[in-house]
Amino acid sequence: MVKRREKKTKIICTIGPSSLNSKIMNRMFEAGMDAVRINTAHGDFEQYREIIRITRGVGEIPVIMDIKGPEIRTRNKIPIEAKLGEVIVAGFGDEDLTFSYNFYDEIESGDKILIDDGAVVTNLIKKEDGKLFLRVEDEGIIEKNKGVNIPNRSLNVPNLSQKDLEAIEFSKENEVEFLALSFTRDAKDVKNLRKKIGSGGQAIIAKIENHQGVKNTDEILEEADAIMVARGDLGVEIDYEKVPLIQKDIIRRCNQMGKIVITATQMLESMVNNPTPTRAEASDVANAILDGSDTVMLSEETSIGKYPVECVEMMTKIAREAERMLTGKVAMNGFINISQTVSKSINLIASSMPLDKIVTLTRSGYTARMIARFRLKQPIIAVTDNQIVKRQLELVYGVQPVYIRYREAGDIIRNAAEILKQKKLIEEKDYVLFTAGVRTGQTHESNLIEIHRISDLLGASKKQ
């Protein structure tokens, strides 16, 4: 088993029937799991509560709860075999195949309706008396509760469903760190969710998985705390050949702004049923990391797959290998704020002298993210006195967050160094760069850089 912290890339694992077990989740944690995802398209709140309970016992890692947002799903009671060329009568009432949202008036003959990430493709040949007549173009089994896509249509699906609203309240009660908004269309969707969260403290991950989200990426980036490139639905809504370049562009923009970016969907999909991935899947994971992803995500692989622990072990191995070749690609552009400018200086210092570690004292996590975007070789230790911020920083590439109630008064650098040495996170022989905000109450104003050999710093402390 590989040791935790030997990789810098973070791994999210979706928890489901094959992994909802404390023994298995502990093994996944040891293998490199950095966060747990709850997919609210499946299960109920009792199951979600159990996932959170086990997670809190496994380690100080964050929980991500999907908010389904403006999505459409199948609502058939039993699986339906869709045969090539046959016509299926679907609708929004008592038909065998029904949908969670009534889009009857928003589509026209000739529109394609894709089910389960495009596994089943149908074409609307006519609509009549509230019913849809769909000709099957790519056959398969239509399972219940599968995602539905209608490419090139901007539907008026409500931003948040009743279950979403219940999930938001649940997330507050259970101190969930992240809410991931599916099918984010624009900044208004993020603002609306932020308003519902209120002062709960949750961070928002905007999932980019349709053409509206891609078109409005810039405004979404301004409002969201993190972005997920959700390639499953994205590859259904947008031409396949365009998805890789969209992925690279979104990651680049997130890196530039120091926003957490997650690459997700079908990363090791063959491992749902097989103990090893394909070579193409290994390359896909590695390239997502080389593109600049902070985090990579496992979905069906760990929720319903046969090999949840092996999937995490494999992703950790791939990450460690890819990180050997990773270099930062952030442009050194103009002034935005003090913390960002300090992070640029730290990047230059770290590349020009033999530093062992970088320690940032951060209230919000912002400075840690600004430093991490440069993909430095040195470990970044983010010291914060906020438990939620500590767990949210678990998703940032190369950052080891530490909760310390450090003293603001006096020499905060020495105080932090003493505690970190006690925790065996730094050693006396280490050369460490420290950064913090001193004598300022403003946000994003880490205005101090100090470089010390720890033996000298703590030795000087003892003499005074």
Q: What is the CATH number of the domain that holds 417?
A: 3.40.1380.20
Q: Which is the catalytic residue, given 8, 37, 146, 373?
A: 37
Whether 135 is catalytic: no
The verdict on whether 207 is a catalytic residue reads yes
- How many domains would you assign to the chain? 3
393 in the same domain as 367: yes
Please tell me the distance from the alpha carbon of residue 247 to that of residue 249, in angstroms, as a whole number.
6
Higher pLDDT, 154 or 178: 178
Tokens 């001193």 correspond to 438
Separation of alpha carbons 283 and 274, rounded Å: 17
Indicate if 439 belongs to the active site.
no
Using the 3D structure, point to which of 119, 149, 179 is the last residue of a domain: 149
Bigger pLDDT: 412 vs 453: 453
Strand order in the sheet with 120-128: 72-73, 147-149, 112-115, 120-128, 131-138, 87-91, 97-98
Q: Which of 4, 49, 56, 73 is catalytic?
A: 73
Mean pLDDT of 372-387: 95
Burial of 65 (0-12, 13-18, 19+ CB in 10 A): buried
Q: Is residue 4 part of a domain?
A: no
| Other Cβ atoms within 10 Å of 125 Cβ, number | 12
Question: Of 149, 166, 200, which one is at a domain's C-terminal end?
Answer: 149
Q: How confident is the model at residue 185 (pLDDT cuts 50, 70, 90)?
A: very high
Higher pLDDT: 264 or 145? It is: 264
Question: Distances from the Cα of 236 to the Cαs of 119, 122, 243, in angstroms?
Answer: 9, 13, 10
For strand 178-181 and strand 63-67, is the pairing parallel, antiparallel, or unpaired? parallel
Task: Choose one of 126, 149, 172: the last residue of a domain.
Answer: 149
Residue 281's DSSP bridge partners are none
Strand-pair partners of 208: 229
Q: What is the pLDDT, as a whole number, of residue 339?
A: 81
Are residues 40 and 164 both part of a single domain? yes
Q: Which of 207, 369, 390, 391 is catalytic?
A: 207
Using DSSP, state whether 418 is helix, strand or coil.
helix
The CA R_g of the chain, rounded to the nearest whole Å, is 24
Residue 197 lies in a domain: yes
Q: Is the pLDDT of residue 410 over 60?
A: no
Neighbours of 438 (CB within 10 A): 13
In terms of domains, do 192 and 311 share one? yes
One DSSP character per residue, 284-320 reads HHHHHHHHT-SEEEESHHHHT-S-HHHHHHHHHHHHH
Phi and psi, residue 226, nearest 5°? -155, 160
Token readout for 111 is: 């529109």
52 and 170 co-located in one domain: yes
pLDDT band at 199 (very low <50, low <70, confident <90, very high): confident
Contact between 397 and 372 under an 8 Å Cβ cutoff? The reply is yes
Exposure of 363 by Cβ count < 10 A (0-12 exposed, 13-18 middle, 19+ buried)?
middle
Is residue 147 scored above 60 in pLDDT?
Answer: yes
State pLDDT tens for residues 102-128: 999 999 999 999 998 889 999 999 999
Do 275 and 143 share a structural domain? no
Q: pLDDT for 1-57, tens place per residue?
A: 344 558 999 999 999 999 999 999 999 999 999 999 999 988 999 999 999 999 999
Closest to 2 (Cα-Cα) out of 33, 37, 23: 33
Assess whether 225 and 244 both reside in one domain. Answer: yes
Same domain, 364 and 313: no
| Whether 12 contacts 295, CB under 8 Å | yes
Q: Are residues 30 and 111 in the same domain?
A: no
**Range of weakest confidence among 134-138, 258-262, 276-280, 441-445:** 441-445
Give the model confidence (pLDDT) of 305-362 as tens digits.
999 999 999 999 999 999 999 988 888 777 777 888 889 999 999 999 999 999 999 9
Coil vs helix vs strand at 147: strand
pLDDT of residue 454: 96
Please list, in sequence order, all residues whose beta carbon lies within 8 angstroms of the beta carbon of residue 130, skipping any fewer than 6 positions away: 91, 92, 93, 104
Q: Is 27 designated active site? A: no
Domain that holds residue 427: 338-463
- Cβ(412)–Cβ(421) under 8 Å? no
| 282 and 220 part of one domain | yes
pLDDT for 440? 58
**Is there a domain that residue 360 lies in?**
yes
Assigned domain for 252 exists: yes
Residue 3 lies in a domain: no
**Same domain assignment for residues 170 and 142:** no
